[in-house]
Structure 1
Amino acid sequence: MTAYAGDISPRDTWEKLSQSPDARLVDVRTQAEWQFVGVPDLSALEKQPLLVSWQVFPTMARNDGFAHQLAAQGITTDTPLYFLCRSGVRSKAAAELMTSLGYSQCWNVTDGFEGPLDGTRHRGTQAGWKASDLPWLQG
Structure 2
Amino acid sequence: MNYAGDRSPRQTWEALEADPDAVLVDVRTHAEWTYVGVPDLSPLGREVVRIEWSSYPEGRVNERFIEDLEAAGAGQDQAVYFLCRSGVRSVAAAEVATAAGWRRAYNVLDGFEGPHDDDRHRTVSGWKVSGLPWVQG
Q: Give the TM-score, by structure 2 length.
A: 0.98
Q: CA RMSD in A?
A: 0.8
1:107-126 aligned within 5 A: 107-123=106-122, 125-126=123-124
Alignment partner, residue 131 of structure 2:
133
1:75-86 aligned within 5 A: 75-86=74-85
Aligned pairs, number? 137
For each residue in 1:42-79, what CA deviation from the matched residue of structure 2 results, as whole angstroms up to 9, or x when unmatched? Answer: 00000100000000111011010111011101121101
1:1-139 aligned within 5 A: 3-123=2-122, 125-139=123-137
Find the aligned partners of 1:60 and 1:48 in 2 and give their Cα distance. 25
Percent of matched pairs sharing the same residue: 56
Specify the SS of the correspondent of 2:14. helix
For each residue in 1:9-35, what CA deviation from the matched residue of structure 2 results, as whole angstroms up to 9, or x when unmatched? Answer: 000000000000100000000000000
Unaligned runs of 5+ in 1: none
Q: Give the TM-score, by structure 1 length.
A: 0.97
Off by >2 Å, runs of 4+ in structure 1? none
Unaligned runs of 5+ in 2: none
Find the aligned partners of 1:77 and 1:69 in 2 and give their Cα distance. 13
